[in-house]
């Protein structure tokens, strides 16, 4: 009995502790239920009440001006014509009077073949022609007196014509021993030496025409639409010289590999001063249109990979405009694609996005002189 009494006494001693725990649990639940009615803590309220400052960017005012458009590309000089001068008849080369690399006029003898029997054949044809002429004259006199028929006169005339054709053939054969320049230019390379045998169609050498001189190159598909046949062009050669001309050809079909279009500029080259194959920086006039000058650092790429600039409107909101670089200068780039006077972001453009409202600080305005 004493043991049972002790256990009952222990349970009676723990009841007040149960009441304390129960009271704490009830108080916690009551606080959680009543918390929304007491408002936010002062620290949270102060944090919400403090506005977040708009980002600060620096802009420059870029006025719109009308400026000549220029399409620039890297090209090379090229001969206007390159011809392999070939023999029209067979024979042994007897003389090569012109050194390769020499400027020559049209008709200059480049290679001369041996005469062989050509002169004798021509002399024989001329003698036969003279005999036929005398025969025709006698036949005409006899016919006039009634001693020769019309048929016989016609036969004598045919013989005379045949002899005359033989003379012309002999003259051509003799003339063909001289392989001449087909146009004025440079005898760039000799293929035949004295003693070499040339069959018909074999080359004596190569002629190139350097006046006028061509400057050729390829432009991207984004630029070819601006170039017109007849537009003025200036080429600065790697040798330091400068030549001026005009566009004579604009390809209408792109290279399937590079997607570029061939451009040909023809320029006077008196005295063949400039050589073929020189690298050249070419600038072609492409009309006049609106342009803006911007710092190179202002150019950015949008999410689609387009090159452009970010600018702010009168409400200091950020916008993006794709642009095309017209020309690079030491103090900035000329671009097209903007309209009117524009405030271009020059500092902070990489940290803002379209539609953001920003604070604006004005930077010095770049020179707008062309």
Supply the pLDDT for residue 287.
84
Do 293 and 283 share a structural domain?
no
Do 281 and 296 share a structural domain?
no
Please say which residue of 154, 177, 204 terminates a domain: 204
| Digit-coded pLDDT (tens) for 239-248 | 888 999 999 9
Q: Is residue 272 part of a domain?
A: yes
Higher pLDDT, 328 or 283: 283
Higher pLDDT, 43 or 360: 360
Question: What CATH code is carried by the domain that includes residue 270?
Answer: 2.40.30.170
Task: Taking residues 205-209, report their average pLDDT.
Answer: 95
Enter the pTM of the model: 0.64
Spatial separation of the C-alpha atoms in residues 78 and 75, rounded to whole Å: 10
Split into its structural domains, the chain has a count of 4
Least confident of 32-41, 110-119, 329-338, 356-365: 32-41
Supply the pLDDT for residue 6.
43
- The answer, yes or no, to whether residue 279 has pLDDT greater than 80, is yes
Distances (CA, A) of 112 to 59, 95, 148, 182, 207: 75, 5, 49, 15, 16
Q: Is residue 245 part of a domain?
A: yes
Spatial separation of the C-alpha atoms in residues 267 and 75, rounded to whole Å: 14
Supply the pLDDT for residue 68.
86
Please say which residue of 243, 266, 287 terminates a domain: 287
Least confident of 25-29, 139-143, 158-162, 283-287: 25-29
Q: Is residue 84 part of a domain?
A: no
Q: Are strands 260-267 and 242-250 parallel, antiparallel or unpaired?
A: antiparallel
- The answer, yes or no, to whether residue 194 has pLDDT greater than 60, is yes
Do 164 and 63 share a structural domain?
no
Distances (CA, A) of 58 to 74, 323, 334, 344: 36, 20, 20, 8
- The answer, yes or no, to whether residue 160 has pLDDT greater than 70, is yes
- For residue 2, name the pLDDT band (cuts at 50, 70, 90): very low
């Amino acid at each position: 009995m004493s043991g049972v009494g002790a256990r009952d006494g222990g349970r009676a001693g723990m009841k007040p502790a149960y009441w304390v725990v129960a009271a704490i649990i009830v108080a916690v639940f009551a606080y959680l239920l009543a918390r929304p009615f007491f408002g936010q803590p002062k620290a949270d309220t102060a944090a919400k009440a403090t506005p977040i400052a708009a980002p600060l960017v620096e802009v420059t005012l870029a006025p719109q001006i009308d400026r000549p458009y220029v399409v620039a590309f890297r090209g090379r000089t090229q001969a206007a014509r390159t011809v392999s001068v070939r023999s029209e008849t067979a024979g042994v080369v007897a003389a090569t009077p012109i050194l390769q690399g020499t400027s020559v006029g049209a008709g200059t003898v480049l290679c001369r073949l041996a005469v062989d029997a050509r002169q004798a054949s021509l002399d024989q044809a001329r003698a036969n022609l003279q005999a036929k002429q005398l025969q025709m004259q006698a036949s005409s006199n006899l016919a006039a007196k009634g001693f020769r028929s019309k048929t016989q006169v016609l036969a004598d005339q045919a013989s005379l014509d045949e002899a005359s054709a033989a003379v012309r053939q002999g003259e051509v054969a003799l003339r063909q021993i001289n392989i001449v320049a087909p146009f004025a230019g440079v005898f760039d390379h000799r293929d035949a030496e004295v003693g070499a045998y040339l069959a018909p169609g074999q080359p004596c050498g190569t002629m190139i025409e350097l006046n006028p001189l061509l400057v050729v190159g390829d432009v991207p598909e984004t630029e070819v639409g601006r170039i017109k046949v007849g537009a003025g062009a200036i080429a600065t050669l790697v040798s330091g010289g400068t030549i001026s001309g005009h566009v004579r050809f604009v390809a209408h079909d792109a290279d399937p590999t590079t997607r570029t279009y061939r451009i040909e500029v023809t320029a006077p080259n008196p005295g063949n001063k400039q050589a073929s194959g020189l690298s050249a920086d070419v600038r072609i006039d492409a009309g006049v249109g609106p342009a803006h000058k911007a710092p190179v650092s202002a150019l950015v790429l949008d999410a689609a990979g387009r090159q452009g600039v970010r600018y702010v409107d009168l409400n200091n909101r950020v916008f993006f405009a794709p642009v095309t670089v017209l020309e690079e200068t030491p103090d900035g780039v000329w671009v097209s694609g903007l309209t009117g006077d524009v405030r271009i972001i020059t500092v902070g453009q990489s940290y803002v996005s379209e539609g953001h409202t920003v604070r604006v600080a004005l930077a010095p305005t770049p020179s707008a002189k062309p």
